[in-house]
Homo-oligomer: A and B are copies of this chain.
Amino acid sequence: MADGMGTGVEDAATAGGRKRAGRAELSPEKVLAKAIEVIDSDGLEAFSMRHLAKGLGVTPMALYWHYPKRHDLVRAVVAEVLAGVVPATATHWEEWLRDYMHRFRAAITRHPNVAPLIGGQLISNVSGNLDMIEALLTRLQEAGVPDHKMVQAYNSVIGGMVGFVSQEFALVPSSSDDGWDGRMKEVIGGIDAERHPHLHAMRSRMENRSFILRWENGATRPMDDSFDTFTEVMIAGIRALTV
């Protein structure tokens, strides 16, 4: 037992890998993995502590030992999904920003259903993000953004990027909000050529492919080229800040 050694021995209850009756062998990692699995396959509305516990074969309260509040688990999910977003290494600032924005979106694409969690809450997984913030500030300075516009430029990039993608993957009404897509199609079909000529001309190109005029989100109707354009808009806009 090596007594007297103050090495933080943890009670040795489950020592030797022996399973204790009534113990579910839970861990923060297992709970987190199951949470992401549930969100990915069953949608965000299935992400409840009780449903999760059932999936893990455990009492709801078992989860609370590892995550004291549901929001702690939410934070962990967001952190995990965003953990893969490593900004690229040394290139020109434009190339870096383009790459970073696409990496961010790619992470959300892997777990589209978590998007509302990222867009709706204050992003908080700070610790791991300081490197990213430092990199972004460095690149913005490299681009020529003056110090007195640095915070605004930073907020523009983050707000625009996170905001666009959150919008793209925004929650679709529900499983079947009776004929919500039908009504949308009706509205688009009924666009009047005289009242809304430009919209009328564009309607087939915009239908279900543009904000406000769609009934599916980015999970089933990704806005790839629009996001490409958006990054170019942002890059050109940042460049204009430097003159």
Partner of A236, one of B122, B124, B199, B240: B240
Per-residue B-contact encoding for A175-210, CB less than 8 Å = 1, 0 else: 001001000100100010001111100100110011
- Tell me whether A156 is interfacial, beta carbon within 8 Å: yes
Contact assessment for A151 and B209 in the assembled complex, using a CB-CB cutoff below 8 Å = yes
Least CB distance, A150 to chain B, in whole angstroms:
6
A211 near B151 with CB under 8 A, answer: no
Asked if A164 meets B160 with Cβ closer than 8 Å, knowing A198-B141, A215-B122, A233-B240, the reply is yes
CA distance A229 to B223 in the complex (A): 25
Complex CA gap A235/B170 in Å reads 25
Name the residue on B nearest A117 (C-beta): B120
Q: Which residue of B lies closest to A165 (CB)?
A: B163
Of all A-B residue pairs in the complex, the 8 with the closest CB atoms, nearest first, are: A163-B163, A233-B237, A236-B240, A152-B229, A237-B237, A155-B226, A137-B198, A159-B164
Q: Which residues of A contact B (CB under 8 A)?
A: 69, 71, 116, 119-124, 126-127, 129-131, 133-134, 137-138, 141, 149-156, 158-160, 162-168, 170-174, 177, 180, 184, 187, 191, 195-199, 202, 205-206, 209-215, 217, 223, 225-226, 228-230, 232-241
